[in-house]
């Protein structure tokens, strides 16, 4: 056996974890009897339909996946259904055929100044195991649906519009928190993306790591960002800048 393979695997795991908020490398599923959990599949499995209805197709499991743990301990991450082809022009593009004067009116906020802050947020299924022992497969991907017990990464950037759009960092004394419920928040850390030591051109962002409690209420979560320090105090709603709520499922 090539002894370089385990070493390369460990290096790649470390790179992935660092890019998604860091954390200890997960134990190999092959060496553990614990379940490896993921978000629910988008469609249920079924045999191909003989009546013209949709037929579910699951990605074929590779030899590596089959060896990584018992089938009963793994949940499919992605399933697709075979259906009739859709139209070549997406429905969202149809609005372009309507004169601007006849298009639906926009909310008032789209004609108002952004200030005093603007931001961008993405929510990621962490590549590191959660405190409940759940691991997203695949990890380090943007998502909006998470199971109870999963590890969620809120990655965000904030800009001070009163300073010409200057990025807000911890170097100016600022601190941030991500509020996920009335009585629950997680600290934000200003960190580079990439395995340490990060490359000189690595982008830096705020990151909040949330281990979803196993008894957390099901349904939508609309995170809010609290900003403080350096004479600044503000609560920023990511939804004002295009971020969508995430959903917690069982």
Gap between the Cα atoms of 216 and 52, Å rounded: 40
Bridge partners, 225 (sequence order) = 178, 236
- Evaluate if residue 84 carries a pLDDT over 90: yes
Gap between the Cα atoms of 70 and 14, Å rounded: 24
What per-residue confidence (pLDDT) applies to 114?
85
Whole-number percent of the chain with pLDDT over 90: 51
State mean pLDDT over 181-196.
90
- Is residue 36 classed as helix, strand or coil in its secondary structure? strand
How confident is the model over 10-63, as pLDDT tens digits? Answer: 444 444 454 465 544 444 443 333 444 444 443 334 444 444 444 444 444 444
Element (H, E) at 4: helix 4-19
- Evaluate if residue 228 carries a pLDDT over 50: yes
- Evaluate if residue 9 carries a pLDDT over 60: no
Gap between the Cα atoms of 38 and 78, Å rounded: 10
State mean pLDDT over 204-211.
97
Domains and CATH numbers, the chain: 115-249 (2.60.40.10)
What per-residue confidence (pLDDT) applies to 110?
87
pLDDT band at residue 209 under the 50/70/90 scheme: very high
DSSP assignment of 84-102: PPPPSS-GGGGGGGS-GGG
What per-residue confidence (pLDDT) applies to 88?
87
Average pLDDT along the chain = 78
């Amino acid at each position: 056996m090539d002894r370089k393979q385990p070493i390369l695997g460990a290096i790649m795991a470390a790179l992935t974890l660092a890019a998604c908020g860091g954390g200890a490398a997960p134990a190999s599923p092959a060496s553990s009897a614990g379940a490896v959990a993921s978000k629910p599949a988008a469609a249920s499995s079924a045999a191909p339909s003989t009546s013209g209805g949709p037929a579910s197709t699951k990605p074929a499991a590779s030899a590596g996946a089959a060896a990584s743990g018992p089938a009963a301990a793994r949940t499919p991450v992605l399933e697709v259904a075979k259906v009739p082809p859709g139209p070549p022009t997406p429905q969202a593009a149809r609005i372009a055929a309507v004169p601007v004067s006849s298009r639906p009116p926009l909310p008032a906020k789209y004609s108002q100044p952004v200030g005093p802050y603007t931001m961008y947020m993405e929510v990621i299924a962490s590549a590191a195991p959660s405190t409940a022992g759940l691991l997203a497969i695949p990890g380090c991907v943007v998502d909006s649906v998470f199971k109870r017990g999963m590890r969620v990464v809120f990655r965000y950037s904030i800009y001070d519009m009163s300073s010409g759009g200057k990025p807000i960092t911890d170097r100016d004394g600022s601190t941030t928190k991500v509020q996920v419920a009335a009585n629950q928040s997680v600290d934000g850390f200003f960190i580079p993306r990439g395995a340490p030591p990060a490359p000189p051109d690595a982008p830096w962002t705020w990151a909040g790591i949330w281990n979803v409690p196993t008894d957390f209420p099901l349904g939508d979560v609309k995170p809010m960002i609290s900003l403080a320090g350096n004479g600044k105090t503000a609560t920023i709603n990511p939804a004002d800048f295009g971020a969508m709520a995430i959903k917690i499922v069982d």
